[in-house]
Amino acid sequence: MPPVIHADRLTKYYGRRCAVNDVSFEVASGEVLGLLGPNGSGKSTILRMLTGYLRPSAGRVRVAGFDVASEGLQARRRIGYVPEDVPLYTHMRVAEFLSFMGRLQGLEGRALEAAIANAVAKLALGGVRELTINKLSRGFRQRVAIAQALLHGPELLILDEPTNGLDPRQIIEVRELIRALAAEHTILVTSHILSEIERVATRVAILLDGRLLSVNTLTRGGESLQVAARGDAGLLERTLAAVPGVTALGTPVAGSDGAWRCTVVVERGAIAGRIAAAVVGAGLELLALGPEQGRLEALFLELTGGAR
């Protein structure tokens, strides 16, 4: 199966300034790729070239097998795009807005009604579909924006800073939403919140000054926790390995405080309680248990040199 995105030596100049410099990457069907980089690194320019808003100065990009420059209409039909600042018509009711956007995509009649019903169900908009958009919270407005991008059943969903301006609860809701949508769509997402990318992406592409520095695979199918405990390292390792839901285990590392720290990859779900009970039940002194932080952040800072 061909990749959903195939970018080949993409380059874009604004006058004499090179905004994107010889960038190549692929995104396979079903992947979630996080596009990361400091401000001015070329992320938005790449998204605009992918969606056909900008023509590359050199190189080419194909979406679902269609060249965005020479087969633009066919390529754009395979894309759902949610820009950072979504131009919603706030005087419209949610259902009215979705109907309008669906008609722009060429949907009508029963096909349009089915597409709206499907999008409303996926985005949990049933309770607000008859409200005007100006009465919605920012979180629900973001859901409406994503809903309109899904009406035509795109193979590729592009989300530019989808959690920008949201409160912590809304960020969690969008994270879970991206995970759910990844079951049916290939997703390209940008964000300044590295921990959120780490939670939803299968791979990350890191940019700096228009150049692609690295494409890295992230841990798939689980979440990483860090356990800190005092006692026998071998006993800690055996105890953690025996907990149902633990899929991978790092080697315990001794800290300066005399505690052992161990990274545990677990199936998604609430199994922290089982881990804590197992460690304490084995006679070990549990000092800390929580999400592992900073792996992607450390990689990002290492590659970009701490650029802002």
Is residue 147 within 8 A of residue 139, CB to CB? The reply is no
Instruction: Tell whether 65 and 88 lie within a shared domain.
Output: yes
- Residues paired with residue 157 on neighbouring β-strands, in sequence order: 80, 187
- Are 213 and 230 part of one and the same domain? no
Contact assessment for residue 110 and residue 87, using Cβ atoms and an 8 Å cutoff:
no
239 and 168 in a single domain? The answer is: no
Rounded Cα distance, 178 and 149, in Å: 13
Same domain, 103 and 244: no
Q: What is the pLDDT of residue 23?
A: 96
Tell whether 185 and 242 lie within a shared domain. Answer: no
Single out the residue in 197, 217, 237 at which a domain terminates: 217
Q: In what order do the strands lie in the sheet with 5-14?
A: 17-27, 5-14, 58-63, 66-67
Instruction: Classify residue 170 by burial, with Cβ atoms within 10 Å: 0-12, 13-18, 19+.
Output: middle
Write out the residue range of the structural domain in which residue 128 sits: 5-217
In contact, 20 and 59? CB cutoff 8 Å: no
Domain boundary among 190, 217, 244: 217
| Position 301 pLDDT exceeds 70 | yes
Q: Using CA atoms, how far apart are residues 128 and 143, in angstroms rounded to an integer?
A: 11
Dihedral angle over CA of 224, 228, 233, 234, nearest 10: -40
Look at residue 293 and tell me whether its pLDDT is greater than 70.
no
Count of structural domains, the chain: 2
In a domain, 305, yes or no: no
Would you state the pLDDT for residue 165? 84
Confirm whether 164 is domain-assigned. Answer: yes
Same domain for 237 and 158:
no
Q: Which residue has the higher pLDDT, 119 or 193?
A: 119
Q: Mapping DSSP to helix (H, G, I), strand (E, B) and coil, where does residue 247 land?
A: strand
Residue 236: give its domain's CATH number: 3.30.70.3100
Q: Is 159 in contact with 80 (CB distance < 8 Å)?
A: no
Share of the chain above pLDDT 90, in %: 63
Q: Rounded to 5 degrees, what angle do the CA atoms 160, 163, 168 make?
A: 170
pLDDT for res 75: 95
Identity of the highest mean pLDDT range in 119-133, 168-182, 221-235:
119-133
In-domain check, residue 308: no
268 and 186, same domain (yes or no): no
270 band by pLDDT with thresholds 50, 70 and 90: low
Phi, psi of 163 (to 5 degrees): -105, 10
- The answer to whether residues 111 and 258 belong to one domain is no
List pLDDT tens digits, range 143-166.
999 999 999 999 999 999 998 888
Same domain, 125 and 263: no
Cα separation, 78 vs 247, in Å, equals 36
Structure tokens at 186: 């290939």
Strands 203-208 and 211-217: antiparallel
Residues 164-217 pLDDT 10s:
888 888 888 888 899 899 989 999 999 877 878 888 898 899 999 999 998 887
Q: What are phi and psi of 128, to 5 degrees?
A: -125, 5
Q: Does 306 fall in a domain?
A: no
In a domain, 87, yes or no: yes
Q: Could you tell me if 183 and 237 lie in one domain?
A: no
Q: pTM of this prediction?
A: 0.76
The mean pLDDT of 84-101, rounded to a whole number, is 93
Q: Which of 15, 71, 25 is nearest to 47 (CA)?
A: 25
- The strand order across the sheet containing 211-217 reads 79-82, 156-160, 186-190, 32-36, 203-208, 211-217
Q: Which pairs from 212-218 meet CB under 8 Å and 24+ separation? A: 212/23, 212/24, 212/25, 213/303, 213/304, 214/299, 214/303, 215/25, 216/299, 218/296
Domain boundary among 217, 237, 262: 217
Evaluate whether residue 304 is within a structural domain: no
Residues of the chain with pLDDT > 70, as a percent, come to 94
Per-residue pLDDT, 306:
58
Judge if 154 and 57 occupy the same domain: yes
Residue 305: which pLDDT band, with cuts at 50, 70 and 90? confident
CATH number of domain containing 141: 3.40.50.300
- Whether residue 301 lies inside any domain: the answer is no
As a whole number, the mean pLDDT across the chain is: 89
Q: How far apart are the first and last CA of the chain?
A: 38
Q: Are residues 93 and 230 in the same domain?
A: no
Strongest mean pLDDT among 101-105, 168-172, 243-247: 101-105
Please determine, for residue 267, whether its predicted confidence score (pLDDT) is greater than 80: no
Q: What is the predicted pLDDT for the residue at 172?
A: 86
Helix locations, the chain, DSSP H: 43-50, 72-76, 94-104, 109-122, 138-150, 168-181, 194-200, 233-241, 272-281, 295-304
